[in-house]
A and B are shown apart, each in its own frame.
Chain A
Amino acid sequence: MTGIGRRSALGLVGLAAARPAPAGGPAFLSAAADAGGGWRAVAFGLDGAMRFDLPLPARGHGAALAPGGEAVALFARRPGEFALVLDPVTGRRRARIDRATGRWFCGHGAFSIDGALLYATEIDGAGEGVVGVYAARRGFARIGEFATGGADPHDIRLTPDGRRLWVANGGIRADPRLPRVRLDLESFESSLVQLDATSGALIARYRLAEEEETLLSLRHLAIGADGEVFVAMQHEGPRHERPPLVAATKGGALAALEAAPELWRTLDNYIGSAAAAPDGELVAVTSPRGGAGLLIEARTRRVRARFAMADGCGVAAAPGGFVVTSGLGGAALIHAHGARTELAGERLGRMRWDNHLVPL
């Protein structure tokens, strides 16, 4: 596909803006597993009460909220067969998007600024990345795709002005016929790319400087206050190496953040999720393997606080800080200065929360 047509990309701004906020304060959506091992999509509030809870055909991963809260799309985990479009208040299913022939979902997506388009990271049969483009108001029909210029595309975010997309190409080649087997963990090329949201044209490609690039896979993204992108990474090289795991764009370059080595060590070479506060001043990253997370000041690029959370991975901005969920059950509010409050709720504690949490 070449372009989408400027009209469909830009013509519907503001249509969805008037929707009232859901009752009961902020809510959050995550894929989860119940005690019996069943896969679910679950939304809960800060009060710990469930907003909705529905079964999934397979393990879910990330989700994307349409602007104005019209709909939320939840993606199957890579290599994914489906995405579900849900009502963010009731959880009612609006649409099921099946993967296109020869394409598999990678678990993340983003809506265009007017909500008319849904972008999804996908791979082809050789593991090369594309962004699948779906028309929200035509039943989420797939109307085209863009190449991401790399293998293993994972997280995707829209720039604040809505004109471009950021995509993290994790770089680790996989064969969708061999679910979750990662091929070639030692010579992969990972990159962060910026694509035109309308034409798909590659606008910029960022890689870590050679001396910093120690087998790091760029996977999750958060947009900071000035529109800069924070990239959360995973290190696939020798275990005794402990490189920095967060990088950020600055000018035309991507540079690793500087922090004390012991901070990186607590993350055990693995960040599972990243989120930014709505004003972009604070970015949170989580490491389920390290059982820890960091709060990073976007402007100074300094680590402000470290918090502990066993198997903590899902993270989403919330009033006053971030909600972090655990794969062992339970969730906590990590306040902007690092203090912590557990969220109550018996079912919140019983559910095993999967990789990502999205504010509704």
Chain B
Amino acid sequence: MPNRRTFLAAALLVPASAHAQPARTPAPAPAAQREALRRAVATHILPRHAAFAEATRGFAAAAATAAHGPAQMDAARTTWIAAALAFQGIRHLRFGPMEERDRGFRIAFFPDVRNSIGREMAELLRAADPALVSPEAFARGRVAAQGLPAAERLLFGDEAARLAEQRFRGTLLGAIGANLAVIARDLETAWTRPDAPYGTGMEGTPDGPYRSPQDGLLMLFKSLSGGLEFLAERQVARTLGPSLREAFPRRAEAWRSGQSLALVRASLAAQQELWAAAFAPMLAAANPTVARQVAEGFARSAAAAGRIVPSLESAVVQAGGRAAVEELLRALGTLRRLLGERGAPALGLPMGFNSMDGD
């Protein structure tokens, strides 16, 4: 006869269907989750996509004539900044329409650790072939040379003065502008098309990528967590480097235009907006203490970003400035851990802390 203990242990190995209760608060009712999704779409996703589409239209118009003179160049620069800031409003929504056709990478290939932008731009400028920069050609390849960072180099880089001299530079800039406007329009259309807007799919369909409103809400939560991580690690920490002597101000996202810090603040504000729209009301009902801590975490992060002066690039090469940048990183880290360790379980979302913040 088998040892009683072995027998018992074997009997307790049960099939998946009898899985134990989850380690989190029961999820809110699907209706509440659907409401949260709709709030996020209506008050965050749609207006931010409309703003990006409008900003890229303005940039496309200005980019087309930027090579014609100093005033036109100034207009192109101003509209580039507006488009880059508007992109921060949606960049964290890195799923669905943004993932399709590599749109996120095509809008902003960042970070560019292998100098793909420089290499691809050099190829295009050398070839000087308009057929290589048509929207169709851009849809097929040269992901790095068709977005905001490439345009920034043409407008703000060391060789910006050559925009008026080297004709193909102007052609490339115009092509990037037109391309960005098309991508932005397609993104907006994906969320607004009357037949099957993306946000409705996020509420759940039997065969779609989201089976329930919870799946949709989980995607938004992951966007927020991933967005805050990207902001901290890629947009901020990589400029800091291990020490003052090893700082990398030129790893800042937009050092040529001096907009890196403005982009950081814009991204944080957009993600705060998503939190407030989708999750804050649900969490306030489920766990007011954690809800208050998250709100404070966003406020603390925004305040820390506000104390970095005058720019990210100059802050990281000065002791006092580094302290301010470090304070922002601390605040963002605390906020992100709070979302993963307390927020997700309290919201009943199956977002594990191993995926969110592992080693």
Contact = CB atoms under 8 A, between A and B. Distances in A.
A15 interface: no
A183 B23 contact: no
Interface residues of B, number: 51
A270 interface: yes
Contacts, number: 171
A330 B19 CA distance: 7
Given A184-B242, A352-B345, A327 B237 contact: no
A18 interface: no
A340 B16 contact: yes
A215 to B, nearest CB: 7
B19 A349 contact: yes
A124 interface: no
Q: Is the interface of A mostly helix, strand, loop or mixed?
A: loop
Given A270-B358, A313-B358, A352-B353, A25 B9 contact: yes
Interface in A316-360: 326-330, 332-333, 340-346, 348-355
A239 to B, nearest CB: 8
Contacts of A272: 354, 358-359
Interface stretch (B172-180, B258-266, B271-279, B325-333): B325-333
B350 A25 contact: no
B193 to A, nearest CB: 27
A115 interface: no
A313 B354 contact: yes
A57 interface: no
A178 interface: yes
Residue picked from A46, A237, A342, most chain B C-beta under 10 Å: A342
Given A178-B326, A182-B233, A345-B12, A24 B358 contact: no
A175 B19 CA distance: 41
A35 B237 contact: no
B240 A183 contact: yes
A255 interface: no
Interface string A52-93: 000000000100000000000000011000000000000000
Interface of A: 23-25, 33, 35, 37, 45-48, 61, 77-78, 107, 126-127, 154, 173, 175, 177-186, 215, 219, 237-238, 240, 270, 272, 288-289, 291, 310-313, 326-330, 332-333, 340-346, 348-355
6 contacts: A186-B251, A272-B354, A289-B358, A342-B14, A349-B20, A349-B22
Question: Which 8 A-B pairs rank lowest in CB-CB distance, beginning with the nearest?
Answer: A349-B20, A311-B352, A327-B352, A329-B23, A288-B354, A313-B354, A327-B354, A288-B355
